[in-house]
Amino acid sequence: MTKRLKEIIYVCSIAVVFLQISTFLTFGDEEKEQVKEVFNYNDHGMRDPFWPLVTSGGVVVNHDTELLFTDLVLEGTMMNPDGSNVAIINGRIVKVNQTIGDFTVLKIDQNVVVVLKEQDTYELRLKKEE
């Protein structure tokens, strides 16, 4: 081969390598820009399909009344000037003295709801959105 032909092959080889690298970097950037879609499950008032139907002891669980404090999620509050504040707990709108499961709502503030179960009081706090 002549020297000129070797130079042309060498330059073309380098050009192909640079094209492959730039293509790889371009596709890598597109993957980083993709945003994960968040899926919110709408239960349409039905029970959560991921909650067990029976306990390990074989007892049927009633999720409407047998809630644990850790099952309660404060989703929002609405403060009214007349003091009839409402809270959204586990998708249900509740007022003071109403119940959700075995818990009675004692107090609704802007970021905190106090609930009572038997003689124990618990505070549900509104989580800040990120």
Q: What is the DSSP string of 6-71?
A: HHHHHHHHHHHHHHHHHHHHHHHHHHHH--PPP-----TTSPPTTS-SB-TTSPBP-TTT---GGG
> How far is it, in rounded angstroms, from Cα 92 to Cα 74?
10
Confidence at 43, pLDDT banded by 50, 70, 90: low
The domain that holds 99 is classified in CATH as 2.30.30
Residue at 33 is within a domain: no
pLDDT in tens, 9-38: 888 888 888 777 777 666 655 555 667 787
Model pTM? Answer: 0.51
The DSSP symbol for 126 reads P
Residue at 45 is within a domain: no
Residue at 29 is within a domain: no
Residue at 103 is within a domain: yes
Residue at 80 is within a domain: yes
List phi, psi (to 5°) of 93: -90, 125
Residue at 31 is within a domain: no
pLDDT at 49: 73
- Rounded (5°) CA angle 81-126-130: 120
Residue at 81 is within a domain: yes
Identify the CA nearest to 109 among candidates 96, 98, 99. 96
> Which domain covers residue 103, as residue numbers?
69-125
Of 30-34, 51-55, 75-79, 89-93, where does mean pLDDT reach its minimum? 30-34
Residue at 56 is within a domain: no
